[in-house]
Chain A
């Protein structure tokens, strides 16, 4: 039996988050790895620096892929009475996660995006970046509803699972997601802690 040196940096991120694993048994390993990577990256300086840079160009995505990612993330978490994923620059976060993760997971993601472009062209005559929100909704709905899609859609279902999880992670770790949408008061200095005061919970 051999021994190995422990690379704590990547493994720490993954094992510490293992309890929050994606946990969908049917999903391929790369989806789970990428979602965990996104959660780890959401807490790191590099991802946050990428999100806040003013002059930004994608490091992994092509301009067309970037447009597609913007469209997909905004469809997953749209602007409502609060801004959505596009305004929160979730595409930049995803580009960063893809640049930080393993080549295999990156290429699986790219393959999934290409599959979705192909499906979009077949269904609505345009690629993801070129489709309208209504058209994209038609394309995505069967992929987002577990158990309803035929077996040949497995690649698209896995890709959607990955980008949805990364979008949720990316969006709800921004000020837009956390403060404006969820209503976090951002107060970090309290004189007293009240705790639960609801009579029905006592």
Chain B
């Protein structure tokens, strides 16, 4: 194959345009630094989204031959491998903005309970930063992207000063909230990146609840709407679409010199040269790129002399308990779409005095679909006995009464939970495929028991009834879509791949700014922290560049 080498050397190459890469490109270009940004996909066209289309109208549109946007990468195009008996549900979005096009928008600050967890319990390594290092960046990010939430700060959830007003709870959420109050289980307004006020020229949320299909008004944060256009306006950004990054290239001294990528449409191999490389392709794909970047100076993958890259994959555990509240049966059907998903959140509480159990770390819970589901009645309606007019009547009565409790728990980092690349199995470009080997352990199983007890306690106190409930039954591994840990930051280069500023210990001109840098998963949703860390890392990068250190 002919290799086309482009002679220009860019000051910075950024791989990936989602939360981490988009933030890096935005923050560097606004400081006058020229950036070439590689994204594995194309721009999604907001004008084609079916955000504000009621479900039945989709049928008319489909009959006309129209199709909605589909965001997710097909495994037929990019397969990945797992052990036969340990499936892992990997979700990838290749296209401008990545997963921020369809993310869950939950935006919870991490606190020192999270950053210093390993200092307290001794399991693996702590973060090399603490809350005071990142809180100014949380402040900036929240003002930039528009996060709503309450003023109910705690040791778990600090820093509400920049939040926009939260949406009111729905009936089901009110009843669950009251029950949790009786049990002394904490419950707060959710904190989510739906803008409830017009922000930076973008209109406020319209409460269609259909965020999973992409937002046609850009009323929740998406990198492709809220970062990339502003980066392009500086004139400092060159955005290359359909550029599937494969390897980071290095010189004889092991220093990065550029990126090899493949054109997704033609399959042609390309290279781009740069002085500094920022990797933000999401945890799993960034890890694949680093591990595939083998060279005589980096035989174990780029910057992986410590052998930590690929290891310590931590993906949160979650489950979804569903039921109904008899108190709401037979009430009128409401338009409860809201901001999609939950308006309330249960922060972690097992660190509180007397609430602990025999496991490390903790879990929180979201409350999904405590509302009349726009997609139809909740699963479980078919469990109502009988058939005929009586069944139809009972399904209608129960329709406004459904709720879902959705806990997310921290999974500990284990060295055996690992992403590797398999040189014997390659993708359409000849690049080795990912292999994900992930399993949870005893700590997570004990935590699952506590989750189950908590759910059952809340539902009982609320007078609810669980349906299709399988105690201890977790969702498929990978379904939290919160992968972390495989290129972790730390102070000790033997036990971590990155410094406290996301710079590789072993390759000074490479920064990794996505969730792979997190030493722990925490129980919280990571995007707000990814944005803040990427902003912080690229501030440092820009400063080092100006000092002539890069």
Listed in ascending order, the chain A residues whose CB lies under 8 Å from chain B are 1-9, 11-12, 15-24, 35, 39, 42-43, 45, 48-49, 51-53, 75-78, 80, 84, 137, 140, 144-146, 164-165, 168-169, 172-175, 177-179, 181-196, 198, 201-202
- Asked whether B322 lies within 8 Å of A196 as measured between CB atoms, the reply is no
Is B80 touching A19 in the complex (CB atoms < 8 A)? no
Please name the residue on chain A nearest to B53 by beta carbon: A188
> Is A182 within 8 A of B333, CB to CB?
yes
Contacts of B206 in A (CB 8 A): 188-191
The reply to whether A195 and B374 form a contact with Cβ atoms under 8 Å apart is no
Q: A3, B399: Cβ atoms under 8 Å?
A: no
Interface pair A201/B171, CB less than 8 Å apart: yes
Contact digits for B193-237, partner A, Cβ 8 Å, 1 yes 0 no = 000000000000011101000000000000000000000000000
> A77, B56: Cβ atoms under 8 Å?
no
A189-B207 Cα distance, complex, nearest whole Å: 6
How far is it, in angstroms, between the C-alpha of A164 and the C-alpha of B386 when the chains are bound?
9
Cβ–Cβ contact A75 & B56, under 8 A: no
CB nearest neighbor in A for B384: A168
How far in angstroms is the closest Cβ of chain B from A82?
Answer: 8
The minimal Cβ–Cβ distance linking A9 to chain B, given in whole angstroms, is: 7
Supposing A3-B81, A8-B90, A187-B335 touch, asked if A146 and B210 sit within 8 A by C-beta, the answer is no
Are the CB atoms of B382 and A196 closer together than 8 Å? no
**Residue contact B63 to A49, C-beta cutoff 8 Å:** yes
Contact B81 A77 (CB under 8 A): no
B332 CB contacts on chain A under 8 angstroms: 183
| Cβ contact within 8 Å between A195 and B84 | no
Binding site for A on B (CB under 8 A): 51-56, 58-60, 62-63, 67-68, 72, 74-76, 79-85, 87-90, 167-171, 173-175, 178, 206-208, 210, 319-322, 332-333, 335-339, 343, 372, 374-383, 385-389, 391-393, 395-396, 399, 422, 435, 467-470, 473, 475-476, 479
User: A19 touching B62 by the CB < 8 A rule?
Assistant: no
Determine whether the beta carbon of A23 is less than 8 Å from that of B53.
no
Task: List chain B residues, Cβ under 8 A from A23.
Answer: 383, 467-470
CB contacts (< 8 Å) of A42 on chain B: these are 375-376
- Within 8 Å by CB of A179, from B56, B75, B168, B171, lies B56
Give B399 Cβ to nearest chain A Cβ, in Å: 5
A89–B3 Cα distance when bound, in Å, is 56
B56 x A9 contact (CB < 8 A): no
Specify which of A2, A18, A43 is in contact with B476 (CB 8 Å cutoff): A18
Complex alpha-carbon distance, A15 and B473, angstroms = 12
Complex: chain A residue closest to B368, CB-CB: A19
Complexed CA–CA distance, A190 and B196 (Å): 12
- Chain A residues with CB under 8 Å of B387's CB are 75-77, 140, 144, 164
Q: Is the CB of A5 within 8 A of B80?
A: yes
Report yes or no: B392 in contact with A78, Cβ–Cβ below 8 A.
yes
Q: Is the CB of B82 within 8 A of A4?
A: yes
**With A4-B81, A77-B392 already in contact, 9 other A-B pairs whose C-beta atoms are closer than 8 Å:** A1-B85, A3-B84, A15-B479, A19-B468, A23-B469, A42-B375, A173-B375, A178-B56, A195-B170
Q: How many A-B residue pairs have CB under 8 A?
A: 212
Partner of A45, one of B68, B378, B383: B68
In the complex, what's the smallest C-beta–C-beta distance from B201 to chain A, in angstroms?
18
Q: Cα distance A20–B319 when bound, in Å?
A: 11
A165 with B382: CB separation less than 8 A? yes
Please tell me if the beta carbons of A5 and B79 are within 8 angstroms of each other in the complex. yes
> When the two chains form their complex, are residues B89 and A11 in contact, meaning their CB atoms are under 8 A apart?
yes
Given the interface pairs A6-B81, A76-B387, A195-B168, the reply to whether A190 lies near B207 with Cβ below 8 Å is yes
> Are B56 and A174 in contact, CB atoms less than 8 angstroms apart?
yes
In the complex formed, the residue of B with least CB distance to A3 is: B81
Q: How far is the CA of A128 from the CA of B79 in the complex (A)?
A: 45
- Residues of chain A with a CB closer than 8 A to B435's CB: 3
The complex places the Cα of A161 from the Cα of B90 at a distance, in Å, of 32
Please give, as numbers and ranges, the residues of chain B lying within 8 Å of A9 by CB-CB distance.
74-76
Contact between chains at B388 and A78 (CB < 8 Å): yes
Q: Give min CB distance, A58 to chain B, whole Å.
A: 18
Contact between B88 and A6, CB atoms less than 8 A apart: yes
Residues of A within 8 A of B62 (CB): 45, 48-49, 52
CB distance from A131 to the nearest CB of B (A): 15
A181 to B389, CA, bound (A): 12
CA distance A202 to B169 in the complex (A): 10
Cross-interface CB contact of B375 among A3, A43, A175, cutoff 8 Å = A43
A8–B84 touching, CB < 8 Å: no
Q: Is the CB of B169 within 8 A of A16?
A: no
Q: Which of A42, A172, A202 has the most CB of B within 10 A?
A: A172
Contacts of B80 in A (CB 8 A): 5-6
Q: Would you call A184 and B372 a contact (CB within 8 A)?
A: yes
Q: Are A78 and B338 also in contact (CB < 8 A) when A20-B468, A168-B395 are?
A: no
Q: Which 6 A-B pairs have the closest CB atoms?
A: A195-B168, A20-B379, A175-B56, A19-B320, A23-B468, A15-B476
Q: Which of chain A's residues has its CB closest to B370's CB?
A: A196
List of B residues within 8 angstroms of A198 by Cβ: 171, 174
Closest to B73 in A: A8
Name 27 A/B residue pairs within 8 A (Cβ), A-sorted: A1-B83, A3-B82, A6-B81, A16-B479, A19-B319, A19-B473, A20-B379, A21-B468, A23-B469, A43-B375, A45-B67, A49-B62, A52-B62, A75-B387, A76-B387, A144-B387, A168-B381, A175-B59, A181-B396, A183-B396, A184-B54, A185-B335, A188-B53, A188-B206, A194-B168, A196-B169, A201-B171
| Residues of chain A within 8 A of B167, CB atoms compared | 193, 195
Asked whether A19 lies within 8 Å of B475 as measured between CB atoms, the reply is yes
How far apart are A18's CB and chain B's nearest CB, in angstroms?
A: 6
Min CB distance, A69 to chain B, in Å? 14
Contact between A52 and B60, CB atoms less than 8 A apart: yes
